[in-house]
């Protein structure tokens, strides 16, 4: 499956834009990439700080035949983002439930999932933020970025292309996954 790319310089939120694309077009899947977000959103209505040079992306596709719960979908998406991060970082990457990825107990990535139903078809929107070159300061929450960890400057475009490929490979198998074998299936 090929994800149609939607590239933007500045948006309010990549998830909001993905929702508008689903509502206003016939696109069944896609990937929204922005250089910057003015109103990036995290879980529970929290603000996502969006520094230029970091990755802000939303992937959307239909999930009508998927039998996984929202909790299991979150686990799948965390594992897919972990797979992306392992392309750039060789150390331990942990998942802090429900939707954060940590390196050395510091947040490097967060995921915001939303479900939308249009004309009886169910879509998932997976918003992903990854600190590539700069970390936000969050009260009582340590953060990090890949540049500080590796000394290598990873471009948002490079990370986006790798993530696009991971999802394009995974989406056709999405409905076949058994949550008990999930970790093994995603290696």
Per-residue pLDDT at 130: 96
Cα separation, 187 vs 177, in Å, equals 13
This prediction's pTM: 0.90
117 within 8 A of 136, measured Cβ to Cβ: no
pLDDT for residue 68: 80
Tell me what pLDDT residue 24 has. Answer: 97
Hey, what long-range contacts does 179-182 have (CB within 8 A, 24 or more apart)? 179/68, 179/72, 179/75, 182/72, 182/75, 182/76, 182/79
- Chunked in runs of 10, what are the mean pLDDT values of the chain (187 residues)? 94 94 96 86 60 92 85 90 96 93 95 93 95 87 94 95 96 71 55
Q: Which fold has domain 4-177?
A: BirA Bifunctional Protein; domain 2 (3.30.930)
From the centroid of its chain, how far is CA 112? 7
What pLDDT digit, counting tens, does each position of 115-164 carry? Answer: 999 999 999 999 999 999 999 887 788 999 999 999 999 999 999 999 99
pLDDT of residue 126: 96
pLDDT for position 184: 56
Given this model, what pLDDT does residue 148 score?
95
């Amino acid at each position: 499956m090929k994800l149609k790319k939607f590239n933007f310089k500045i948006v309010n939120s990549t998830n909001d834009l993905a929702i508008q694309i689903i509502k206003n077009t016939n696109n069944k899947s896609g990937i929204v990439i922005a250089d910057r977000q003015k109103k990036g959103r995290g879980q529970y209505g929290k603000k996502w700080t969006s520094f230029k040079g970091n990755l802000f992306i939303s992937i959307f596709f239909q999930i009508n035949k998927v039998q996984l719960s929202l909790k299991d979908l979150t686990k799948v998406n965390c594992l897919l983002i972990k797979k992306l991060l392992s392309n750039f970082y060789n150390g331990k990457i942990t998942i802090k439930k429900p939707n954060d990825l940590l390196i050395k107990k510091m947040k490097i990535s967060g995921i915001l999932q939303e479900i939308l139903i249009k004309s009886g078809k169910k879509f998932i929107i997976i918003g992903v933020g990854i600190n590539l070159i700069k970390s936000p300061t969050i009260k009582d929450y340590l953060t990090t970025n890949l540049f500080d960890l590796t000394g290598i400057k990873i471009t948002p475009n490079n990370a986006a292309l790798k993530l696009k490929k991971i999802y394009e490979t995974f989406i056709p198998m999405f409905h076949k996954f058994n949550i008990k074998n999930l970790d093994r299936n995603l290696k």
